Amino acid sequence: MYDRIYIDEIQDMIGYDLEILKNLIATKTEVIMVVDPRRCTYSTHSTKKYKKYSFGKIDEFLKKNAEIQMLKLTNIP
């Protein structure tokens, strides 16, 4: 297994992408994610899974899972 995984453009993930992300952060592998919800460009998805986190609401998904998985969230202005 990898010690660390880097994932960029998290704000464009939705549906089953988030399920994969959720499973990754549940492992012992360090997952470093880059997200800017203000730059959400992927608005053509039509999935029902995790639909409430679409259109730039990925920060809500991360905050919810931070509480569950003890994620460290860092804001960079």
Closest-CA residue to 22 (of 33, 48, 36, 76): 33
- 58 found inside a domain: yes
pLDDT at 63 exceeding the cut of 70: yes
- 74 found inside a domain: no
Average pLDDT (24-45) is 75
* Amino acid (one-letter) located at 9: E
Higher-pLDDT residue of 49 and 19 is 19
- 28 found inside a domain: yes
Domain residue limits at 61: 4-69
pLDDT at 36 exceeding the cut of 80: no
Higher-pLDDT residue of 39 and 10 is 10
Percent of all residues in the chain with a pLDDT value above 70, rounded to a whole number: 71
- 31 found inside a domain: yes
CB 48 within 8 Å of CB 14: no
| Residue 58 burial (CB count, 10 A) | 24
- 60 found inside a domain: yes
- 75 found inside a domain: no
- Across 16-20, 47-51, 73-77, the highest mean pLDDT is recorded for 16-20
Closest-CA residue to 18 (of 54, 42, 55, 46): 54
Domain count, the chain: 1
Beta bridge partners of 40: none
